[in-house]
């Protein structure tokens, strides 16, 4: 049985950037539904006792869509925090090396989010040399299947922001970066262990 992981903060903790109502629906309804569907679809399947990551890598169709969405959201929640901490030096350095500056990185990430058509995700990924790049995936798509290491996940499905900023995805991206947990992102990017 796969379980909805505990949210690492209270549902109102990211307000005013991400509202309690958005977090409540996004986590308790959308994410929960993906997990429930994974469990339902896995019943009697050969992948039943596999990790979520293995299910993502070895499935297609509805099972892939729900498993990948469950996995993507697990990362997404951890990428945010109400506690603002300074960016770790390793990440700061990698961003400068890869994008020129933090401002240039933000601009590029926001442009990728705005240009992404329809539902999906925008990611910061890292290659084996430590170089960062921005990529996006459609619907449940995930860098996991391309064997890319994820550093940061940003959900750009309308359910992630429509209650807060309506059709203004750009303002959601601005809000998202007010609550990014750079300690976690840096850990994910530069530690060798893979995320759950
Ligand atoms: Mn979502």
pLDDT in tens, 99-143: 999 999 999 999 999 999 999 999 999 998 999 999 999 999 999
Q: Which residues of 67-90 are buried (b: 16+ CB within 10 A; e: fewer)?
A: bbbbbbbbbbbbbbbeeeeeebee
Distance 93 CA to ligand 1 centre (A): 30
Ligand 1 center from residue 31 Cα (angstroms): 7
- 58 in a structural domain: yes
Domain co-membership, 45 together with 124: no
Kindly give the distance from the C-alpha atom of residue 187 to the centroid of ligand 1, in angstroms, as a whole number. 22
Q: What is the total count of domains within the chain?
A: 2
Q: Where in the sequence is the domain holding 48, given as residue range(s)?
A: 20-78
User: 25: domain CATH number?
Assistant: 1.10.287.990
36-81: per-residue pLDDT in tens? 999 999 999 999 999 999 999 999 999 999 999 999 999 999 999 9
Is residue 3 one of the residues assigned to a domain? Answer: no
CB atoms within 10 A of CB 33: 14
**Statement: the pTM of the whole predicted model exceeds 0.85:** yes
Listed residues 36, 55, 78: the one ending a domain = 78
Task: Annotate 101-163 with DSSP letters as a single string.
Answer: SHHHHHHHHHHHHHH--SSEEEEEEE-TTS-EEEEEEETT--GGGGTPEEEEEEE-SGGGTHH
| Nearest alpha carbon to residue 20 among 122, 159, 164 | 164
Span from the CA of 100 to the centroid of ligand 1 (angstroms) = 30
């Amino acid at each position: 049985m796969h379980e909805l992981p505990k949210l690492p903060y209270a549902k109102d903790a990211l307000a005013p950037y991400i509202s309690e109502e958005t977090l409540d629906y996004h986590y308790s309804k959308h994410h929960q539904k993906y997990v429930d569907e994974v469990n339902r679809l896995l019943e009697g399947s050969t992948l039943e006792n596999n990790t979520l990551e293995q299910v993502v890598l070895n499935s297609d169709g509805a099972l892939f869509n729900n498993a990948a969405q469950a996995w993507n959201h697990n990362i997404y929640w951890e990428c945010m925090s109400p506690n603002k901490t300074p960016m770790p030096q390793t990440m700061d350095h990698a961003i400068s090396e890869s994008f020129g500056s933090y401002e240039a990185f933000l601009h590029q990430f926001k442009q990728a989010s705005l240009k992404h058509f329809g539902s999906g995700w925008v990611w910061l990924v890292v290659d084996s040399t430590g170089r960062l790049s921005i990529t996006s995936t459609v619907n449940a798509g995930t860098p996991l299947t391309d064997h890319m290491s994820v550093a940061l996940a940003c959900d750009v499905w309308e359910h992630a922001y429509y209650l807060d900023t309506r059709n203004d995805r750009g303002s959601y991206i601005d809000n998202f970066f007010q609550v990014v947990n750079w300690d976690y992102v840096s850990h994910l990017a530069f530690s060798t262990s893979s995320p759950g």
